[in-house]
């Protein structure tokens, strides 16, 4: 039963104290949720510092909802944002909301959403879409089905009542996305190994991502350009700068397992990749929101328990699909995950837009089963 609260106070975040209240909200919302994996406070906070490159092409406003019984605590938060790159790409004035968290009280959620929508109207927006944390390259989507397991690394998670809030407030589904479950105890169909052999015979070479020094940076620059070519038409997405991409890549450098990150090349030009990561949410769940010296020790101890991984993307330039590069990458990625000494028992591939039928067909042919569903909502202003 959803509760309703009166005398709600919504406040724009303008001071360091407000910012701390904004960052405090998730711990209150998920206090009794055993599946929640907290984000590091520093990772969230860096989105709002003036040096964030987002501010070179966008603007935002943070809001908090204060506890009516204790105005020194926040019970909800939201960010309204205008990503000018997205506006220009789509050719329409679409704003975003993100970083949404709220206790189970519809009136508070509605007041937060109204505040974000009003700010976006004042910026000239005529539509709003979310949750998208400034860009789909960051966290986005509400989980709407599959609440029984914790999220894997860099995947969204939220209480089940968020979708009720959105529908009750008149928001419409914009698009769904899926996460697929891959058990690693079943062999791939023979056609995947044959595809690898065909790709090799056609001159395609494969190697692991390089993770050290200048070679890592060179690979990341190639990944950046390949991303922009292969995913140029992704829905609700605008390209990142090379600087943004490299910053994100360097944050993940020490976490990469090269055996589950194969690269495909044609004459030394990168033309495809399988991007896998160990599920570092397993140790992060034990760390909490601050990576201090104790948190680092916990992370190093619990990372030994990692027994699953997430496949973030499978990418191949379209002209190489006839050379079986996508299937070859799946074969190599899965083989890397099950090689002797590896701890992985299962993998998740996600997220994938519901209307990305070529990718979904390939994933399902390799044995993936949908086990979580996510949603982006939209509304006219």
Condensed to tens digits (0 to 9), the pLDDT of residues 199-237 reads 999 999 999 999 999 999 999 999 999 988 888 778 888
363 in any annotated domain: no
Identify the segments of the chain with pLDDT beneath 70.
1-6
Residue 180: per-residue pLDDT: 97
Element (H, E) at 377: strand 369-380
Rounded to whole angstroms, how far apart are CA atoms 338 and 330?
Answer: 12
**What is the reported pTM?**
0.93
Contact 147, 160 (CB under 8 A): yes
Residue 308: per-residue pLDDT: 95
Alpha carbon separation from 191 to 187, 194, 204 (Å, rounded): 11, 5, 17
Task: Report cis status (omega within 30 of 0) of the bond before 150.
Answer: no
Structural domain range at position 236: 186-344
Average pLDDT in the chain? 93
Last residue of a domain, one of 344, 359, 376: 344
Question: Both 219 and 77 in a single domain?
Answer: no
- How many independent structural domains does the chain possess? 2
149 in any annotated domain: yes
Partnered with residue 280 across adjacent β-strands are none
Partnered with residue 197 across adjacent β-strands are none
372 in any annotated domain: no
Question: Both 242 and 280 in a single domain?
Answer: yes
CATH number at residue 295: 3.40.630.30
Question: Both 29 and 137 in a single domain?
Answer: yes
Question: Both 30 and 158 in a single domain?
Answer: yes
Last residue of a domain, one of 124, 149, 176: 176
Tens-place pLDDT, residues 4-47: 455 789 999 999 999 999 999 999 999 999 999 999 999 999 99
Residue 72: per-residue pLDDT: 87
304 in any annotated domain: yes
Q: Where are the alpha helices (DSSP H) in the chain?
A: 16-29, 41-45, 84-90, 106-122, 161-168, 190-201, 213-230, 242-252, 281-287, 293-302, 325-338, 357-365
Q: Give the chain's radius of gyration (CA, Å).
A: 21
Question: Both 16 and 149 in a single domain?
Answer: yes
């Amino acid at each position: 039963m959803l509760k309703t609260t009166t005398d709600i106070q919504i406040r724009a975040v303008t001071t360091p104290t407000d910012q701390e209240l904004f960052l405090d909200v998730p711990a209150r919302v998920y206090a009794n949720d055993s599946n929640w994996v907290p984000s590091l406070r520093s990772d969230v906070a860096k989105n709002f510092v003036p040096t964030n490159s987002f501010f070179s092409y966008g603007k935002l406003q943070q809001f908090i909802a204060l506890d009516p019984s204790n105005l020194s605590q926040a019970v909800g938060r939201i960010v309204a944002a205008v990503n000018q790159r997205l506006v220009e790409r789509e050719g329409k004035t679409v704003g975003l909301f993100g970083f949404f968290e709220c206790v189970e009280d519809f009136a508070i959620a509605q007041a937060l959403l109204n505040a974000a929508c009003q700010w976006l109207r004042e910026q000239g927006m005529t539509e709003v879409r979310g949750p998208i944390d400034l860009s789909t390259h960051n966290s986005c989507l509400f989980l709407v089905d599959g609440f029984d397991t914790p999220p894997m690394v860099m995947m969204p998670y939220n209480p089940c009542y968020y979708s009720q809030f959105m529908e009750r407030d008149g928001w419409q589904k914009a698009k769904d996305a899926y996460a697929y479950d891959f058990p690693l105890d079943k062999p791939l169909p023979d056609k995947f190994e044959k595809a690898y052999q065909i790709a090799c015979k056609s001159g395609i070479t494969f190697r692991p991502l390089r993770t050290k020094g200048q070679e890592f940076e060179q690979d990341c620059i190639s990944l950046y350009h390949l991303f922009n070519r292969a995913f140029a038409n992704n829905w609700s997405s605008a390209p990142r700068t090379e600087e943004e991409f490299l910053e994100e890549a360097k944050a993940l450098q020490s976490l990469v397992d090269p055996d589950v990150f194969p690269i495909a090349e044609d004459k030394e030009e990168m033309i495809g990749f399988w991007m896998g990561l160990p599920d570092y949410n397993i140790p992060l769940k034990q760390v909490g929101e601050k990576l201090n010296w104790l948190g680092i020790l916990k992370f190093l101890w619990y990372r030994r328990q990692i027994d699953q991984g997430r496949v973030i993307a499978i990418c191949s330039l379209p002209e190489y699909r006839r050379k079986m590069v996508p299937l070859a990458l799946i074969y190599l990625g899965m083989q890397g995950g099950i090689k002797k000494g590896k701890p992985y028992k299962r993998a998740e591939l996600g997220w994938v837009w519901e209307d990305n039928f070529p990718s979904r067909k390939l994933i399902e042919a390799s044995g993936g089963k949908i086990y979580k569903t996510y949603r982006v909502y939209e509304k006219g202003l």
